[in-house]
Structure 1
Amino acid sequence: MANVPDTQTQTQQSGVWTQVDSQPVEKPIWGRLYAKNLKIKSLGTKNAITLIQPTWSFSYDLCNDVFKVGRDDDNDLSLNKDHLPTKVVSRISKVHFLIVKDLQDQKNPVYIIDESRNGTFVNGNLVGPHNKMILKNDDVIALSHPQYKSLVYKDLTPNEAGTLPTEIHETYYVSKKLGKGAYGEVHLVYDAKTCKAYAMKAVAKNQLAEWSKKNLLSDPKRVMNEVNIMKSLDHPCVIKMHDIVNKPESVFMILEFMKGGDLLSRIINHKYLSEEASKLFFLQMCHAVKYLHTKGITHRDLKPDNILLEDDRPETLLKVSDFGLSKFVNKGSILRTLCGTPQYVAPEILIKSGCGSYTPKVDIWSLGVVLFTMLSGSLPFSDEYGTPATEQIKRAKFTFRHHVWKSVSGTAKKLIYDMLTADPNSRPSIDKILSSTWLRDAETIKKAEKLMNMKLIGTKKASCSDVENSNEQIFAEPPRKRARK
């Protein structure tokens, strides 16, 4: 074999050389450690480098997935009495701490794991035995006591935190972008101390005025509308707010992170959902809407994009999100704003063009469209069906044209038909929907209660007479005469 330099001694400012198929290959560097109050003469038996310059002259480039620091000679950085006072060295463990990074994605956070008896500190905060924290740029690492500041970590990976407010980048590690909406971006962030993942929604206030030609959302007070709503909510099927940073230019909302993505992606990936899966998701949605309506809140933009899933399991917890178009509705008040997503918006909103008034029944209509979409993978109203979608919506004209509807129960189709009624007064209330035969399924209710960790009120098992009276066998699609207004 060719004589290849030892990987641990070929440390350069530009990187670390390693051996792959007898050829030196430079690994990408994701971080760097600088000495602080350390009298570094060498890096131990595995990393022999002589340094005679003062503090901060020593640096070690990090490119592997694990970096060990401690008293033992086989650590990547071995510390002894040549580096620290004897009283400090005596308190250092054989392996004091680890610095680890998942190299599959450079945007993954860097963790420091405390393996010591006497503690590892980051910026004066104790990590704790076998606990971990996220290391961020310029974090100071102390050994055994907050005063024994020994190392400084430099993050060399691309990161957007530098452009964010101090309250954000000091508290959170900002990772990859999860999505972008009409007037906001969403990033995956991690709490530096707890390492818990969150979704950070950043809304630039000046973009709102540009987004709405009618200037409906340009008032900065309206930006805080979603914030005030989110702060007041506490339900297992409604996204919770963890933190809020309000700045003159932008608002940053730190929200629960849902690993399963949105309902729209789930539908697209499966083409459509089974009736069993749709029922479980829809039941959770209805309880979320019931909670909102009880609190005097109309969502006004319910759609699969705004329904988030906890994980990738077929049966998983669901949460309603994105309250940018929501509004508290006090007793006797009316809603006048023309808003919502065109394919999911209720006919009264289109007919009145924002000049009249409408009620929380707009959410019932949107629920009907969402259920239709889940069961068929298609929309009930579309420009592709001949006439403009807006005209179809105004007349509540739709059909169960997709072949999949042949296998969908009559009770499910009847519920959709009842919700997609042009006259809002004829639409069922959320309580009426929850008491419908289709949702009074004992097995589905049991699954939902387990996922939501609560007893569901207002939903009970359907009786035999309920099923017999549902006309399941004869109901095929809405009668034409009732599809017109």
Structure 2
Amino acid sequence: MARHANIATQSQASSIWGQTQSQPIENIVWGRLYGKNIKMNSIDLNADEFAAGRGETCNLMLTLDYLPEKILYRISKIHFTLKRENCDISNPVYIEDNSRNGTFINGERIGMNKTRILKNDDVISLCHPTNKAFVFKDLCPNEALGLPKEITSTYYVSRKLGSGACGLVRLVFDIRSCEQFAMKMVKKNLLSESNAISRNKQLNSNDPEKVLNEANIMKSLSHPCVIKMHDIIDKPDSVYMVLEFMKGGDLLNRIITNRNLSEPISKLFFYQMCHAVKYLHDKGISHRDLKPDNVLLESSNEETLLKVSDFGLSKFVQNDSVMKTLCGTPLYVAPEVLQTGGRGAYTKKVDIWSLGVVLFTCLSGTLPFSDDFGTPASEQIKHGRFRFSHPTWKKVSQRATTLIKEMLMVDPKKRPTVDDVLKSSWLKDNEMLRKAKALMQLNTMDIDEEDENFLQPPKKRARR
């Protein structure tokens, strides 16, 4: 199995928690309010919830000792509430406006009974933007250091979700809507230096309007099995993609956790992937970097919706990342890409090859091509040499192995189109189709009613 980058979710606070295990949670100070135009120095925040207002139940009861009478009479019994779930420093701090006269963050009104995220050095004003009462200090590590202003002014950057050779993925929150996203950061300078000159010519000389147009095309895509791109920021050294957050992790992790996937689950996942690729192909987009890492799952349920991601990265990073020496080995890439050194013009058939490799991996938990097989993987790919030798193949139907053989044809002209794949006999499984329709929430799908009585043939081991 190819080396798998560690993508386990981890809290950036692990070392801090280790040092404070003997302390009660309520003693952990995670933030501080400093008085600005209010008669107080500071107050520590060390509980899940902190309320400020005129009411006696508030953690900070505002009186004439703190504010002049003309402002105090406009303060609500509970004016605003701060929340940090479980005092966990990997969670954002929320501020809820409980007042009729308003709570303002940096001059911007939150709105009664509405919530937004509070960030380090934010100024909290009461009743009017000019009544600047507090400055909030987040005592937790700043994960947004070094990120562009386009990111930090819009998003709260939280814990790491995963990492790989070309960058990492972080959980982010929209400051105003509090919506969760996954932000993928890809460093361009981690790519192969051999392509530096051509990359700079293509990226740095790009008309900004052209880059913006490409981003808008990707943001406009809408399909249940294609990850929704919320935002994309293209910088000279990095690309930042803000994507919908999928809580189920990626397909590679699911395969590794289970060693391999059953044929029914593999079929359900593969069918959804094919629909995603068909949608992209119909829009004139070739993915060019299909692999289990780039397939995200909605939930931890065995039967779940999946979404294909990273389909737009090749527009911003020269060629596809899988071709770069520092960004992984070309284990899922088509022979024609290897034969041209990643500089040729390919057809959409490169995605069909990759789909075949992904299906092979789902069903067996192994790769069809590997340096461990005696010859370089690249040579195996160029000649289309692979075997169904793992014991798990004994339980896989011949229709599945036949489809894999058809997709892994070295000559791209002999490979099926994605429409052909969707019409394959292996996918004529009405139970799977009904589940897929429910997961994808589509009203109409290409389900042939004549196949209601379709029966799988006896399962036997395919030979090559």
Moved more, 106-115 or 344-353: 344-353
Are 2:437 and 2:445, in contact at CA under 8 Å, matched by a contact in 1? no
Task: Label 1:90 to 1:251 Cα distance change in 2 as closer, same or farther (>3 A).
Answer: same
Are 1:267 and 1:374, in contact at CA under 8 Å, matched by a contact in 2? yes
Cα distance between partner residues in 1 of 2:262 and 2:142 = 41
Task: Label 1:177 to 1:297 Cα distance change in 2 as closer, same or farther (>3 A).
Answer: same
Task: Give the alignment partner of residue 80 of structure 1, picking from 48, 63, 85.
Answer: 63
Task: Label 1:271 to 1:231 Cα distance change in 2 as closer, same or farther (>3 A).
Answer: same
**Structure number, greater radius of gyration:** 1
Residue 190 of structure 2 is aligned to residue 190 of structure 1: no
Shift of 1:296: 1.3
Q: Is the partner of 1:378 in helix, strand or coil?
A: coil
Residue 461 of structure 2 is aligned to residue 476 of structure 1: yes
Q: Deviations over 1:381-415 (max 9, x none)?
A: 22223333223222322222222222222222221
1:249-398 matches, within 5 Å, as: 249-323=237-311, 326=314, 339=323, 341-354=329-342, 357-398=345-386
Task: Label 1:461 to 1:70 Cα distance change in 2 as closer, same or farther (>3 A).
Answer: same
Q: Is the partner of 1:438 in helix, strand or coil?
A: helix
Cα distance between partner residues in 1 of 2:35 and 2:397 = 69
Listed as ranges, the gaps of 5+ residues in structure 2 are 1-20
Q: Deviations over 1:150-205 (max 9, x none)?
A: 21111111113242222322221111222334433322211111111112233344
Alignment-mate amino acid for residue 203 of structure 1: V
Task: Give the alignment partner of residue 438 of structure 1, picking from 426, 437, 461.
Answer: 426
Cα distance between partner residues in 1 of 2:410 and 2:54 = 75
Cα distance between partner residues in 2 of 1:443 and 1:361 = 29
Moved more, 130-139 or 114-123: 114-123
Alignment partner, residue 60 of structure 1: 43
Alignment partner, residue 451 of structure 2: 463
Task: Give the alignment partner of residue 453 of structure 1, picking from 441, 445, 452.
Answer: 441
Alignment-mate amino acid for residue 441 of structure 1: D
Cα distance between partner residues in 2 of 1:465 and 1:24 = 62
Residue 108 of structure 2 is aligned to residue 154 of structure 1: no
Alignment partner, residue 146 of structure 2: 163
Q: Is the partner of 2:426 in helix, strand or coil?
A: coil
Q: Is the partner of 1:344 in helix, strand or coil?
A: coil
Residue 199 of structure 2 is aligned to residue 217 of structure 1: yes
Shift of 1:135: 0.5
Task: Label 1:459 to 1:238 Cα distance change in 2 as closer, same or farther (>3 A).
Answer: same
Q: TM-score, normalised by structure 1?
A: 0.80
Shift of 1:220: 5.4
Alignment-mate amino acid for residue 180 of structure 1: S
Cα distance between partner residues in 2 of 1:220 and 1:109 = 38
Cα distance between partner residues in 1 of 2:146 and 2:359 = 41
Task: Label 1:76 to 1:204 Cα distance change in 2 as closer, same or farther (>3 A).
Answer: same
Q: Deviations over 1:43-83 (max 9, x none)?
A: xxxxxxxxxxxxxxx11121222212121223211102332
Shift of 1:104: 6.1
Task: Label 1:369 to 1:155 Cα distance change in 2 as closer, same or farther (>3 A).
Answer: same
Are 1:71 and 1:92, in contact at CA under 8 Å, matched by a contact in 2? yes
Are 1:300 and 1:325, in contact at CA under 8 Å, matched by a contact in 2? no
Cα distance between partner residues in 2 of 1:249 and 1:348 = 29
Alignment-mate amino acid for residue 217 of structure 1: R
Shift of 1:230: 2.5
Question: How many residues in Structure 1 have an aligned counterpart in Structure 2?
Answer: 432
Alignment-mate amino acid for residue 203 of structure 2: K
Q: Is the partner of 1:217 in helix, strand or coil?
A: helix
Cα distance between partner residues in 2 of 1:337 and 1:137 = 35
Alignment partner, residue 98 of structure 1: 81
Alignment partner, residue 218 of structure 2: 230
Q: TM-score, normalised by structure 2?
A: 0.83
Q: Is the partner of 1:112 in helix, strand or coil?
A: strand
Task: Give the alignment partner of residue 403 of structure 1, picking from 391, 402, 406.
Answer: 391
Cα distance between partner residues in 2 of 1:247 and 1:371 = 35
Q: Is the partner of 1:269 in helix, strand or coil?
A: helix
Shift of 1:24: 9.6
Cα distance between partner residues in 2 of 1:308 and 1:390 = 27
Alignment-mate amino acid for residue 398 of structure 1: F
Q: CA RMSD in A?
A: 3.1
Task: Label 1:336 to 1:142 Cα distance change in 2 as closer, same or farther (>3 A).
Answer: closer
Shift of 1:300: 1.1
Are 1:38 and 1:84, in contact at CA under 8 Å, matched by a contact in 2? yes
Shift of 1:293: 0.9
Cα distance between partner residues in 2 of 1:36 and 1:265 = 49
Cα distance between partner residues in 2 of 1:477 and 1:456 = 34
Task: Label 1:338 to 1:355 Cα distance change in 2 as closer, same or farther (>3 A).
Answer: farther
Cα distance between partner residues in 2 of 1:326 and 1:442 = 36
Cα distance between partner residues in 1 of 2:74 and 2:322 = 66
Q: Is the partner of 1:160 in helix, strand or coil?
A: coil
More contact order relative to length (CA 8 Å, sep ≥ 6): 2
